[in-house]
Every structure is written in structure tokens, then in C-alpha cells.
Structure 1
Amino acid sequence: MGKYTCGLDAAIAVMGGKWKGLILFALQDGPVRFGELRRAVPGISERMLILQLREMEASGLVHREVYHQVPPKVEYSLTDFGHSLNTAMAPLGEWGEEHMERIEALP
């Protein structure tokens, strides 16, 4: 038997926590530099963003492009794998929007 019990189990393992979904959302429209990405994901620390981006790069969700120029430039973008996860998450995000008041009211 494989490592996961079902497809949802595998998808959640790739997502791992609240930050990766927000990062995926921030990258949906194309390449973004680190500073822009940090501003697009409110509440994330620089250290946590670096850690999450490294994990997402290792899992094949994100591509890191380094431009050798002065000053150095680095851009992050979604891979096809990352885009496919964003597409799969869209209905869940819509569900969350639709039920946000109820969810916020939970004890």
C-alpha cells in the first residue's frame, strides 16, 4: 500500500499548513519577486516565507529563477504542477468565501 490513504490525504500533504495556499494564490498571475511576495502574503515572516518557498520548490510546485545581474534578481513562479494544484483548490476557496461568516463564528 502507498504512503497515502486517499487523494485528499496526498493533496493535504503537499499543501502542508496555511502559508502554501496563500503563496500559491499570490503566484497565480505570473512570476513575482520575493519582496512582492512577502507583501502579498500578510502576516508571514521573512524566515517562514523562505522556508515555505524552499519546500514548495523541492516538491515541484514553485520554480525559482535567479537572474545574475547587479543587483541580483530572483523571481518565483508556479510550475505546471503548482498551477494544477491552484486549479484544484479554487472550489475550496469559493466554498470558504461563501461560508466565511459561519466559519468565523465557530467557537
Structure 2
Amino acid sequence: MTKEVHNEAFKRIEKGYQILGKRWSGLIIYTLVDEPKRFSEVHARIPVLSKRMLNERLKELEDCGIVIRNVISDRPVRIEYSLTRMGTELAVALKPVEVWSNKWL
């Protein structure tokens, strides 16, 4: 592997850790694994997370392509959040962290 290729790979890995390193990001992804959820449902599952911070993290995860915001045009209009294909693959990669946490923490 050339130094240039190694540096590019390192930058991508660093970006992944930056996304996951932000407080609450992992739990939000974990909450959305099973099915799409409305903002209030995500907040109910992580009640210690302020609504402002939840909104900020959802927007960041959406900007990264991990979460998608779905507007459902029923009456009343609903908004649901779900994982994209990339987000689902990330959730699979995070599964060992769940196993480790349940065993050791």
C-alpha cells in the first residue's frame, strides 16, 4: 500500500470515528435499528438527551448519509427517521459493541 493510499484510508477511518465519537450518535443509531421512528419516539427512548441536541445529532447523521428524514403527508403530517443502507451497515458493525457492553459494563 502506498503512502498516499494509506493516508486516504486513514482519513476515512478518522471520519468514521469522528461521527461515532459525538455523544449520543451511537445510541440514536441503535434506537433506529428496528424500524423508523418519530422524533418523539427517539426522544422517549433516550430521555436524558435534550430535544435540541437530538435535533442537532439527527441533522448531522442525516448530512452524513446515515439517517434519512421521511415526511409522511398524512393528516397530520408526520416525520419519521430511519437508517439508510449505510446506516444499517454501520449498525451491524456496532452490534459487537452492544455484545461487549452487555458482558463487561
What's the TM-score once normalised by structure 1's chain length?
0.82
Residue 71 of structure 1, aligned match among 67, 76, 79:
76
Instruction: Compute the RMSD of aligned alpha carbons.
Output: 1.8
Q: Deviations over 1:50-103 (max 9, x none)?
A: 000000000000010112343221000000100111100111221122111xxx
Residue 45 of structure 1, aligned match among 38, 45, 50:
50
1:25-104 paired onto structure 2 within 5 Å: 25-100=30-105
What residue number does 1:103 align with?
A: none
What residue number does 1:104 align with?
A: none
Corresponding residue pairs, total: 99
Which ranges of structure 1 fall in alignment gaps of 5 or more residues? 101-107
Question: Partners of 1:6 and 1:77 in 2: how far apart?
Answer: 23
Percent sequence identity over matched residues?
34
Change (3 A) 1:51 1:42: same
Which ranges of structure 2 fall in alignment gaps of 5 or more residues? 1-6
Higher helix share: 2
